Structure 1
């Protein structure tokens, strides 16, 4: 009996280890702060999928650049070293340039218009383009309207933007927009942004109020304005080869859990955005509201950028977007 007991115990331990290894594991990477709405939504995804699968699918969430910056995560998902990621859509535009069609300057007046576009035929067409690059889109979350901050001066007129060295995402349309406004845009991964602002390497950056707040940029920036120059999305993307290899039941569970997470994030993002500006001014940032005159001047100054971007993209996609905008009465 004394001989059998250790044998039974060791067998049980080995069996437990084998069972653990047999569980499907999904690694999900993101560069957003732990308290950002998208990171909280990924926790919701983890809870939902583990519930739906009765614990047979194990989800490991890695927010806050734990598995590298945004650009690194894109490459990792594309080649399959990470199964899933959530990332600002602009980081995917160098792989899938057609995504620029939903990132044109001053394209949307509100979040409802933006989601009507990506949740419809335009979004489906973009999904097909991403599949060609080995990625399976799982949904669009809200990054939100991007707002300008800087350490030099308040932004009350277009001339105040001229000469500012502004960090932007690596998106050609975004960069061209700020060139048209007279700034000196710099493409930079988000993982380098805080230190660049702190050291004065750049003058400013642009992000939604909620991101500016949770990323701590109020500690290294003085001025903020509600320029709202782009509405930005967060793409949730899976490695296509990995997703296609899942059985149909597992695919359905992943989709259902992600749909719940995306819906949760959109609601939470709107709440965080509404509260973000008050939190920034409470931390000492000076807020300068964009006047109707400045808003009109910004649109006029960047109109050619939108036209140029459309000219570089698939004409059928451009027509599809135009038709959808007309159908929705935007």
Structure 2
């Protein structure tokens, strides 16, 4: 005897209501090496999300350019192909130019100042700008103070930058700053830099000490400085449409997990920075610290860049950043 349609409907409803909800997997991609503190922080983030959601959300991480380089990751998140990315903020500045306001030359005397700025009103404004372009900012990790390496000469004065072909990130303020101090900046993806240095296509590059070490640039560079010309952030950004589609509980879990992972990363990065500098010196790089006089001269030479940036993105946010950076 065949069941009636009514009984069949009841049976289907019973199965639907008794079946456990399927876990949702969210993919996030990055271009940092597997052992970089930001990649390790994302593993912590994934564990915390699973714990806080009882396994309802699973984070799958893809570090080390497994899903493409930084530009590809930005495009993937913006289109929703992947849920999120952790990425140097410079790579988002082409999409969100206002990000350049927190990457001003010689603006932060230390990391504490840099994080006071991004954790304050300036960070709130940038979160709004990111949202307008389809991203949700889940937090800001440390990429760190950027320092120049090269194969030509030790950097002791402003004149030593003259004509050096230096690789930089695709950030207009960064590129303009190095033109202002007499260098010849080249925008290039990180995956190409080692071979370009090795072949002499570039004289040098600039990165935090931890990236210089993890990318093994000491193998193809002789001179190391502590120029600290920019402080760079790593933004953990998600696709806004996908994030907004999550339940309130799941959104809260993601934010709480991000806060925990980012706190750990910032603490780890501070230790990693000094350890990496020493490791580079130990491998044989010649370390030449900049004098206060040289640093002041570089700051003065690069000031017109800030005026140009105000013309491009407006002065209100830049003035806010400079005010918060100068606050005691």
Instruction: Establish whether TM, by shorter chain, passes 0.5.
Output: yes
Matched, 1:215 2:215: yes
- Mark the CA change 1:321 to 1:278 in structure 2 (over 3 Å): closer, same or farther: closer
Offset at residue 319 of structure 1 (A): 4.1
Contact 2:138 2:235 in 1 (8 A): yes
1:6 alignment partner in structure 2: none
1:232 alignment partner in structure 2: 232
- Matches of 1:198 and 1:53 in 2, distance apart? 47
Offset at residue 300 of structure 1 (A): 1.1
Matched, 1:294 2:294: yes
Contact 2:107 2:325 in 1 (8 A): no
1:315 alignment partner in structure 2: 315
2:69 alignment partner in structure 1: 69
Unpaired segments ≥5 residues, structure 2: 1-14
Superposed, 1:197-208 pairs within 5 Å as 197-208=197-208
- Matches of 2:85 and 2:271 in 1, distance apart? 23
Unpaired segments ≥5 residues, structure 1: 1-14
Q: Secondary structure at the match of 2:276?
A: helix
Q: Deviations over 1:273-329 (max 9, x none)?
A: 011111001111111111112111111111111222123223332343355346x33
Q: Secondary structure at the match of 1:257?
A: helix
- Matches of 1:202 and 1:298 in 2, distance apart? 22
Superposed, 1:184-199 pairs within 5 Å as 184-199=184-199
Contact 2:116 2:325 in 1 (8 A): no
1:12 alignment partner in structure 2: none
2:282 alignment partner in structure 1: 282
Superposed, 1:262-277 pairs within 5 Å as 262-277=262-277
Q: Secondary structure at the match of 1:29?
A: strand
- Mark the CA change 1:308 to 1:219 in structure 2 (over 3 Å): closer, same or farther: same
Contact 2:32 2:39 in 1 (8 A): yes
Offset at residue 21 of structure 1 (A): 9.5
- Matches of 1:318 and 1:148 in 2, distance apart? 25
Q: Secondary structure at the match of 2:206?
A: strand
Q: Secondary structure at the match of 1:47?
A: helix
Q: Deviations over 1:24-58 (max 9, x none)?
A: 10111111111111011001101111111222211
2:126 alignment partner in structure 1: 126
Offset at residue 20 of structure 1 (A): 10
Q: Secondary structure at the match of 2:41?
A: helix
Contact 2:148 2:204 in 1 (8 A): yes
Q: Secondary structure at the match of 1:278?
A: helix
Aligned-residue CA RMSD (Å): 1.6
- Matches of 2:317 and 2:176 in 1, distance apart? 21
1:107 alignment partner in structure 2: 107
Normalising by structure 1, report the TM-score. 0.91
Q: Secondary structure at the match of 1:202?
A: coil
2:26 alignment partner in structure 1: 26
- Mark the CA change 1:300 to 1:315 in structure 2 (over 3 Å): closer, same or farther: closer
- Matches of 1:57 and 1:134 in 2, distance apart? 21
Q: Secondary structure at the match of 1:76?
A: helix
1:11 alignment partner in structure 2: none
- Matches of 2:100 and 2:241 in 1, distance apart? 25
Superposed, 1:3-82 pairs within 5 Å as 22-82=22-82
Number of aligned residues:
311
- Matches of 1:22 and 1:116 in 2, distance apart? 40
